[in-house]
Amino acid sequence: MNLRRDVFQAIADPTRRAILLLLASQSMTAGAIAANFDTARPTVSKHLQILTECELLAQEQKGREVYYHLSVVKMKEIADFLEPFRQLWDDRFNKLEAVMKAYQSKK
């Protein structure tokens, strides 16, 4: 039974975030991805499976090799979800910066 995984739990793991960063610029095989980590290849394969189940990665068969690449659509969905929070924090930091500048100019 394959339960749907939560995308935010998937990206909470630092190794999985590192895999996403690796694949941001190019497609790679599981072996090439695993070569970037000090963990066993089956461990990296499990991370790839989780990211694929969350639709953050897609697989493409090229000859005998399977290449992994980012799912741009899914990454955009995450970015779109997070955008209001980013705007909220930007507004709060801008207000804090204004208060700090006003405080410093009074000194």
The pLDDT tens digits of the residues spanning 25-69 come to 999 999 999 999 999 999 999 999 999 999 999 999 999 999 999
Q: List, for residues 4-15, the tens digit of each pLDDT value.
A: 678 999 999 999
Q: Give the SS3 label for residue 72.
A: helix
- Cα gap 23→70, rounded to integer Å: 6
pLDDT of residue 106: 84
Rounded Cα distance between 31 and 7, Å, is 23
Q: Look at residue 46 and give its three-state secondary structure.
A: helix
Q: Which residues of 63-76 are buried (b: 16+ CB within 10 A; e: fewer)?
A: eeeebbebbeebbe
Could you tell me the sign of the dihedral formed by the alpha carbons of 58, 52, 66, 32, in that order?
A: positive
Is the pTM for the entire model greater than 0.75? yes
